[in-house]
Amino acid sequence: MMFRSTALTMLPLLLASFHPEAASAQSVANADAAATRVDTADFFTGIWRRPTLLGDMGGLRNALGAVGVTVGLTEATDFHGNASGGLKQGATVGGLATLTLQLDTQKAFGWDGGLFNISALQIHGRSLSPYYVGSLQTSSGIEATSTTRLWEVWYQQSLPDTRFDVKLGQQSIDQEFMASTGSALFVNTMMGWPMVPSADLYAGGPAYPLSSLGVRLRAQSLGPVTLLGGVFQDNPPGGAFANDGQLRGTTRWGGNFNLRTGALFIAEAQYAINQPVAGEMDDGSKPTGLPGTYKIGAWFDTAGFPSQTIDTAGVSLASANSTGNPKLLRQNYSLYGVADQMVWRPDADAPQAVGVFARVMGAPGDRNLISFSLNAGITLKAPLPGRDDDTFGIGYGLAKISNGATNFDRATALTVAGYPVRSNEQFIEVTYQAQVTPWLQVQPDVQYVIAPGGGVLNPNNPAKKIGDAVIFGVRTNITF
């Protein structure tokens, strides 16, 4: 049996001595088989190293990339519970799957500078804040009505030989405007899309999970300065101000494309320091200072907004003679500023760094529930030895109830015993984002909410205000 085994092993080599072409073919076959074994093994052993869970998907990603097509799929899941205070104690699980398809027109058919994007959301699970906390500054940035919906559909074109581009189509403006790099680490909704537009624009404005038709212009040709500007439909679902924008008609699946109300104009100037600019510093030198980005901006809405104090007849909304229908005041606006600044790192090549951020916004108090909001915090990159891709952060949020709203409360309190006068709501968030693998993040998170709702009565116990809430949670992010 041993002889037979050895002979079978040697037979291809013996044949090859008489037919050299057979030896070549056999060598290629052996090499292909070995490569297949390596690839198959790497599909399983390389799962912890590759940037996406599914890898190249049997060559599909590379094949699509060769013709300019990029497909992205992510899943974010929040496990959150209210341990104390709030409306009541309890826990929820909510998730968001995002599918994005992009087409590079140059790779696809030789059209330079073009990019087409279409994305969809699948929102599932249950939100914590409206049922257990009662806060204005909701605890999770993915909280939304459960549905499957179209999100963004746009085309972006860069002008040849310039640093100018234009984007047309259905857009969610929180992807580019009012954004802070530092605050993006945190889980609370207002660290992404701030409290002022969330409360003061129709349905929260054209921001996740909604979007609006519009045009955005960007100019990056002024050295460290970038200019953004755009005009968008201001009311994604259409209808009255108080309507839930995530539930109205076709808006539930994202196909409303409303053009029947007002226009939202927005402009932003960005100034970046100590950051390499494309085409410069090709000698390998690096900026000597610590990088930072500073932004100032404003938005202006042409629609009518409900007064916080008077009705359509000019009577106080707190009066027994009021119609209860707020007077619509023409137009609305806000000014804002954003700062992201690294304040310490041991050297330019070290992963460890400390950054600070702040974002402030103001709006008129006679037609808005929130007249001022603030987000601020500090982040530490690579907080532990050997954990270069982890980030630790402490953040703070403030939402100030407008003078118009508090004046209504004071007037109501004169005739309704025990009616509370709202002031502001605050939260503190402590979070740690662990990069477990290149495609998996696990993020424990703790939030403490002070005066949820700004100090309103608890509907479950009308004799008391909603108590300060303590929220524990974990977020997972998976890139497929």
pLDDT tens digits, 208-263: 999 999 999 999 877 899 999 999 999 988 877 755 555 554 466 666 666 678 99
Six-digit token pair at 241? 């101000």
At 173-206, the pLDDT tens digits run 999 999 999 999 999 999 999 999 999 999 999 9
Dihedral Cα 249, 253, 257, 261, nearest 10 deg? 40
* More confidently predicted of 392 and 279: 392
Buried b (16+ CB within 10 A) or exposed e, 114-132: bbbbbbbbebbbebbbeeb
What local confidence, expressed as pLDDT, does residue 293 receive?
97
Q: How far is CA 341 from CA 175, 194, 293, 295, 409, in A?
A: 20, 19, 6, 12, 39
Residue count of the chain: 480
- The answer on pLDDT for 135 being more than 50 is yes
Residue 24: pLDDT band by 50, 70, 90 thresholds?
very low
- The answer on pLDDT for 314 being more than 70 is yes
- Residue 447: name the closest of 201, 139, 144, 178 by CA: 139
What local confidence, expressed as pLDDT, does residue 34 receive?
40
Mean pLDDT, residues 285-295 taken together = 84
Mean pLDDT, residues 335-357 taken together = 95
Six-digit token pair at 166? 């234009």
- The answer on pLDDT for 268 being more than 70 is yes
At 385-405, the pLDDT tens digits run 999 999 999 999 999 999 999
Average pLDDT, whole number, for the chain?
88
- The answer on pLDDT for 362 being more than 60 is yes
Mean pLDDT, residues 25-35 taken together = 41
- The answer on pLDDT for 45 being more than 80 is no
What local confidence, expressed as pLDDT, does residue 25 receive?
39
42 φ/ψ angles, rounded to the nearest 5 degrees:
-70, -25
State the Cα–Cα distance between residues 192 and 138, nearest whole angstrom.
Answer: 11
State the Cα–Cα distance between residues 137 and 124, nearest whole angstrom.
Answer: 20
